[in-house]
Amino acid sequence: MSKPILAKTIMLLACLFAFSYAQAQDSFASKEVKPSLGIGVGVLNYYGDVNSIGNQSSLLNQFAYEFHVARKLSNYSDLGFSFLTGTMIGNERLPDRNLNFRTDIYSISVYGSFNLDYIFNWSDVINPYITIGFESFEYNNKGDLVDANGSMYYYWNDGTVRTLPQNSPLANQASLMERDYKYETDLRAANLDGFGKYPQLAIAVPIGLGINLNVSDRVSFKVNSTFHYTFTDLIDNVSRDGAGNRKGNNL
């Protein structure tokens, strides 16, 4: 099964607190370089085959948490390692297609951070920076396909969800039902497209842009946005190799 490159994109908007144990000096070469530790919280968003339509995919239920350790290489560059965990949700509700998924993300990455202060020269307090790295991550996509009683959802063209298919001979006996938004079905195990037991470990290239606010010599506050370009097409269990209304995009 072929897989398009950069098929799914994860975006992280994060606020990070970084604690540095290195004293501020005028020159990188004149100080003892010690690592900095950082913790942060943000939200994950997702760009892929399952579009989030409506308010059930609120960013409020897609929090992410990050821990990193970094060490200065020069006055303008750092090398760091990061651990990230969070949740992504996608819901698509269209007349001819109704898809949803939820997945937990666990990632480990190595990255380089480059301070752009020498270009913009804003101030000693506020410094813009960019990051780029390499990442390995694990996901475990689940779907909300049935209710608490195990009854499958059937989506009708009038926008309702019912207990029987719209084209069923007994359609006039179908009862209305509502999604419970409990993602209990293992989408890989359900094998809806015949993909089998595909790997749920993948790689990505995180590219970020942010602003660093130096609170003191040892404490800084960062706000950044990072795009994680992934090398898998199955985070949402929808692929360009699917068929019918489960066929994904070619990119």
- Better-scored residue on pLDDT, 125 or 1: 125
Tens of pLDDT, residue by residue over 52-89, are 654 444 555 688 999 999 999 988 899 999 999 999 99
Question: Does the CA dihedral 234-239-244-245 come out positive or negative?
Answer: positive
Alpha-carbon gap, residue 85 to 108, rounded angstroms = 9
Kindly indicate whether the domain formed by 9-141+201-246 is annotated with CATH number 2.40.160: yes
Query: Dihedral of the CA atoms 246, 235, 195, 101 (nearest 10)?
Result: -50
Rounded to two decimals, the pTM is: 0.84
* Positive/negative CA dihedral, 212, 213, 214, 219: negative
Tokens at residue 30, please? 């004149």
Alpha carbons 130 and 140: distance in angstroms, whole number: 30
189-214 pLDDT, tens digit per residue, is: 999 999 999 999 999 999 999 998 88
pLDDT in tens, 83-108: 999 999 989 888 888 999 999 999 99
